[in-house]
Amino acid sequence: MNVPRLPTIQPGVRPDVQTEDRPTSRPPHRRLLAAATGLFLVGATLLTGCRLLGTDAVTPVPQLLAFLPWLLVPLTLAALATALLRWRTGMVWALVVLAATGWSVRTYDTDGDRSGDYAAAAHTGPAPDGPASTRLRVLTSNVEFGQGTLGLIDTIRREKPDLVFVQECEFVCARLLADRIPATDYPYRNVVTADRAAGSAILSVFPLTPAAGVKGTLAMPGSTARIGGRTVHLQLAHPLPPIPGMVDDWRRELGHLRTYAAATREDGAPVIVAGDFNATRDHAAFRALLKSGGLRTSALVAGAGRTPSWPAGVPRPLGAQIDHVLVSEDFSVRSARFIDLADTDHRSLLVTLDLPAADTDREPADAKREPADAEGPDAEPADAERPDSEPTEVQAR
């Protein structure tokens, strides 16, 4: 005869409130998810905290700051994970860091300083197509150890920029530019011939005078150009990248560019600093450079502040914008466009600028390069008026 087993009744507890035993801990997979989410939030908090505090800190912070906008994606997933885990503290934590990161990324559009404010930039400089303004097009391109030189040459022939800044232009690159870009098109050149990434070049349709340039491991030549009756400072930028073990060198060379920018700001002449900065607006050292020189990023002003320039092998919008054309407030930015080149890991950047003639130093009307007769803010300029003097070239070794 089977006798039914009666439930065990604990002393002092009513039988009608007895419940089955419940597990006191989470399943292993939930514990693993909670640990991974918490660890990620710690790292995300430190990274966003460095951005808000204005420090590039140490490795791996500088490397990760280049991709800060993409932190929003895993942070959103982390917030969803905390909701799934019913981890209230973690959920609040994730949402706070998400909001802080979003606010930091928002400064791509509305920085408090004039160097990054769309509204301020839009009202700075001459009125478009002003009768006393000179329109010029500036191209910067990192050709990755010279491998992208042929693509760059095709781009120069097609786009006809007035100023070209080339980084990582080694010996073969320098020779190709000399052989395939006619001196009648670009009579003035400041070329530093060196191996692999160290070489650089500035090509110009405007008369160039060599300047000291900025000290760096990779060549950063400088010049002054006579544009629209004004003397304009030109500086190529190519500081070392912030790879592990070289962060201090990267920070120091960006500091040299900052010193240059501050000096030219005191001089009061227009300035263009263009090249591969190996830095984005999320790096404190780069923002300090903008602030010291009163400079603006042309791509940001033109509405392309989030367009990546590196690595070119990943599809847009992935990547980071480390190639820039920085300009003083003397210029109005008309347009900015990133161009894909074959055989290089960087996209080239082409910007169109307007520069007014100085009130006390206007060139004769018949000597000016007049803008093209086209409508719209992105209209292409007329071909540059080529100087009649003999081609000149500045060579540094």
Q: What is the pLDDT along the chain (397 residues), one digit of tens a residue?
A: 565 665 665 665 555 555 555 555 678 889 999 999 999 999 999 999 999 999 999 999 999 999 999 999 999 999 999 999 999 999 999 999 999 999 998 866 544 333 333 333 333 444 444 457 999 999 999 999 999 999 999 999 999 999 999 999 999 999 999 999 999 999 999 999 999 999 999 999 999 999 999 999 999 999 999 999 999 999 999 999 999 999 999 999 999 999 999 999 999 999 999 999 999 999 999 999 999 999 999 999 999 998 999 999 999 889 999 999 999 999 999 999 999 999 999 999 999 999 998 764 444 433 333 333 333 334 443 333 344 334 444 444 3
Q: Cα separation of 352 and 354, whole Å?
A: 7
User: How many residues are listed for the chain in this entry?
Assistant: 397
Task: Give the pLDDT confidence score for residue 24 in this predicted structure.
Answer: 57
Q: SS3 for 233?
A: strand
Q: Cα separation of 180 and 30, whole Å?
A: 63
Q: Cα separation of 74 and 52, whole Å?
A: 19
Residue 122, judged by CB atoms within 10 A of its CB (0-12, 13-18, 19+), counts as exposed
Q: Tokens in use for 335? A: 């347009």
The model's pTM is: 0.81
Residue 27 preceded by cis peptide, ω within 30: no
